[in-house]
Amino acid sequence: MHIPVWRYYLVLGACLSMFAGLGVRAAWIQVIDNDFLKSQGENRTVRYQGITSHRGIITDRNGVELASSIPIKSLWVNPSRLFEEQEKYTDFFETTAWAQLASLVDMSVMELNSWLGDPRRNKKQRVWLKRQLEPSRSAIIRRLKIPGINLEQESRRYYPTAEVTAHLVGFTDIDEKGISGIEKAYDERLQSENGRRKIIKDRKGNPIEQVDIIETAQSGEDLALSIDIRIQTSAYQYLKAAVKRVNAKAGSVVVLDIDTGEVLAMANQPSYNPNNNKTRVANSTRNRAMTDVFEPGSTVKPLTAISALTSGKYYSNSKIDTSPGLIRVGGRWVRDGRNHGVMSVSDVIKKSSNVGVTRIALNLTDDEFLESFYKVGFGVDNATGFPGESTGHLNIRKNWSAIEKATLSFGYGLDVSALQLAKAYAVLGGLGTSRPVSLLKVQGPIVGQQVIDPYIARQVIGMMEQVVTTGGTGKKAQVAGYRVSGKTGTSRKTIVGVGGYGDDYFAVFAGVAPVRNPRLAIVVVIDDPQGDAYYGGDVAAPVFAEVMEHALRTLNIAPDVTDKKELIVASLEKNYD
């Protein structure tokens, strides 16, 4: 049968037309309208990847790390994907791998299955299962290769010095947001911002090229604190031993650099390990040196002496009659432990006479008497920005009674924190110059404000030096090779919710050294020491001596004792008779 030639041409033309159409279409798609194919290709090869940044590092003044962020894996799951796998393999949640996973996240298989089946998460595509896994566990989970189970790089805050600096440094939550201490006070400066980048992966999912940075990662700012970890560690250890020795409820130590206002050490008991959530109980996590207040007792008697000398009504050798060892004020008795008879103002401080400071206070106008209390910063916080810092209490009501004025002269009727008391003694040690307290390292010396006459401040330092000599109430605060000036304090604790005073005490010692050129101010507070020796001179003074000696030698501060006669600074007091 003969086939017409035209049919061959028809078929050939059709074929050529089809190939021409395909060519035109291919050219159109690949050259002119190629966005669709590009987007489809990128969906399969281009991925967005997070760029991890780290929270700022916290160090001591010499660069020793106190807080840093370490890399760690966290586990998240895709419940939708897991249930899809169960539809394919009915025994998916009964496999050995699944049982291993449950064990690694501290759950039973039943608990894990119930957790996944919760309506609040079973249809989601991303849910955290376990944050901050131990490296050994994350390595095992990676080897299990369970579909829908994913490990993600995160970071966790780590505190190398643990409980030694816990109260000052503080801690963060699981997302590294500061919730206590310096971590909270400077959270905005420490915070980091993760970035994002666009990358190309091969068919096995391995990154082969970085295309672009979508969001730049920003690491947090590093902070250098004012503390010296060597002094901080010794203060912590000596305080801990003392609190244990006298079976006290709590305790605090503060060390201030007089020239700069920097806090060189701040320790509290009880403490806690910020790396272990289980030790974070309310009683142990607060920074008592800044948040808790107490009536400072006789440690404020030097301020009464300053007010007396500043008024011009008294000199250091002015005589005060304290006989017969008690005085009636407004229907109540103020007593000394013994009858000291006629005393000089210096001896009133040395012997810590309640009757002596009462007679002085009652002979001053209210403004004359209160001036020194306000000038050293009582009643206001130290503006450190530390969360929970207390302002203390020095609110004098109008027409206050004579007994209120009397008791204030020896440290009752006002509340201060350990840091506020340390600041007051730093003002004395700075010869009347007040400098702002700093928790961050500063470049000193810092120019301060002259709030007390330097000559009067020097006289009162001389009075307080006698407290630490033989016959004074604070002789256990002596430091070999250094002249020390300080004051003991023992105050009754008020009964919370009831009022009045009970049989519990605060034992306090505050002082400065070396006397010739004071560099450090230290305050020690022991809350509720047990036993017969509960006085500040017996309990707090020895801790002061230990911390002060270590700090002075650590900072290479030269001894200032060249002769035993220098232990009494009589030459500092001008004879006005």
Does the annotation count 298 as an active-site position?
yes
Q: For residues 379 and 359, what is the distance between their CA atoms, to the nearest angstrom?
A: 24
Annotated active-site residue in 69, 226, 298, 346: 298
200 forms bridges with which residues in the sheet? 46, 209
How far is residue 285 CA from its own chain's centroid? Answer: 10
Spell out where 108-175 has E strands: 127-130, 149-158
Q: Of 477, 554, 488, 543, whose CA–CA distance to 515 is shortest?
A: 477
Residues 392 and 423 sit within 8 Å (Cβ to Cβ): no
Residues 353 and 463 sit within 8 Å (Cβ to Cβ): no
Residues 255 and 546 sit within 8 Å (Cβ to Cβ): no
Q: Of 373, 160, 163, 389, whose CA–CA distance to 263 is shortest?
A: 389
Distances (CA, A) of 448 to 379, 441, 512: 19, 16, 18
Q: For residues 296 and 227, what is the distance between their CA atoms, to the nearest angstrom?
A: 25
104 forms bridges with which residues in the sheet? none
**What is the number of other CB atoms lying within 10 angstroms of the CB of residue 186?**
22
Q: For residues 394 and 79, what is the distance between their CA atoms, to the nearest angstrom?
A: 60
Cα-based angle 166, 442, 182 (whole degrees, multiple of 5): 25
**What is the number of other CB atoms lying within 10 angstroms of the CB of residue 504?**
15
Question: For residue 494, what are its two tokens?
Answer: 């008020």
- For residue 514, whether the previous peptide bond is cis, meaning omega lies within 30 degrees of 0, is yes
The type of residue at 570 is A
Question: For residue 100, what are its two tokens?
Answer: 């291993």
* Residues annotated as part of the active site: 298
